[in-house]
Amino acid sequence: MRSTFSLPKDAATRARSTRTGDGLPRRSAIASDASATLSVARVPTGRCAPHGNAPVGSATSSRACSPKPSASATCPPTAPSVMPVVKHHIARPDSGGYGVPMPTLRHNGARLFWEAAGPDAAPALLFLHAGIATSAMWDPLWADLQRDFRVIRYDLRWFGNSPSDDVEYSNRDDAVAVLDAAGVEQAIFIGASYGGAVAIDTALEFPDRVAGLVTIGSGPGGFPEVEPTRREEELQHSIEQAEEARDWDRLVELEALSWGVGPTRETADVDPLFLQRLRELGDANKPLLDGDPRPVPMEPRAYGRLSEITVPALFIVGEHDTSAARAQAEHLAEAVTGASLHVFPGTAHMPSVEYPQPFLGLLREWLTEQVAG
The beta-carbon contacts of 279-283 under 8 Å, at least 24 apart in sequence, are 279/252, 279/253, 280/85, 280/87, 280/88, 281/88, 281/132, 281/133, 281/134, 281/136, 281/137, 281/353, 282/132, 282/133, 282/251, 282/252, 282/255, 282/256, 283/252
Distance CA 131, CA 114 (A): 16
The partner residues of 164 in beta bridges, in order of sequence, read 110
Between 97 and 249, the more confident residue is 249
Crossing angle for the helix pair 230-244 and 248-261, nearest 10 degrees? 150
Report strand pairing: 187-192 vs 210-216.
parallel
pLDDT of residue 264: 86
Q: Please report, as a single letter, which amino acid is at residue 102.
A: M
- Class (C level, CATH) for 1-60+104-373: alpha beta
| Domain boundaries, given as residue ranges, for the chain | 1-60+104-373
Between 316 and 233, the more confident residue is 316
Q: Is the peptide bond before 300 cis (omega within 30 degrees of 0)?
A: yes
* Among the ranges given (98-107, 120-129, 307-316, 334-343), the one the predictor scored with the smallest mean pLDDT: 98-107
Tens digits of residue pLDDT in 234-289: 666 777 788 889 999 999 998 898 899 888 888 999 999 999 999 999 999 999 99
pLDDT of residue 230: 66
pLDDT of residue 323: 82
Kind and range of the H or E run holding 317: strand 313-318
Tens digits of residue pLDDT in 150-190: 999 999 999 999 999 999 999 999 999 999 999 999 999 99
Q: What is the mean pLDDT of residues 127-135?
A: 98
Q: Is 24 left (phi over 0), alpha (psi -120 to 50) or beta?
A: beta
Tens digits of residue pLDDT in 26-75: 344 444 333 333 333 333 323 233 233 433 333 222 222 333 333 233 33
pLDDT of residue 235: 67
Place 113 in a pLDDT band, splitting at 50, 70 and 90. very high
Place 231 in a pLDDT band, splitting at 50, 70 and 90. low
Distance CA 309, CA 200 (A): 8
User: What is the average pLDDT score of the chain?
Assistant: 78
b vs e for 138-151, b when ≥16 Cβ sit within 10 Å of the residue's Cβ? Answer: bbbbbeebbebbbb
CB 46 within 8 A of CB 270: no
Q: What is the mean pLDDT of residues 104-131?
A: 96
pLDDT of residue 169: 97
The partner residues of 316 in beta bridges, in order of sequence, read 216, 342
Helix (H), strand (E) counts: the chain: 9, 13
280: which residues sit within 8 A by CB, 6+ positions away? Answer: 85, 87, 88
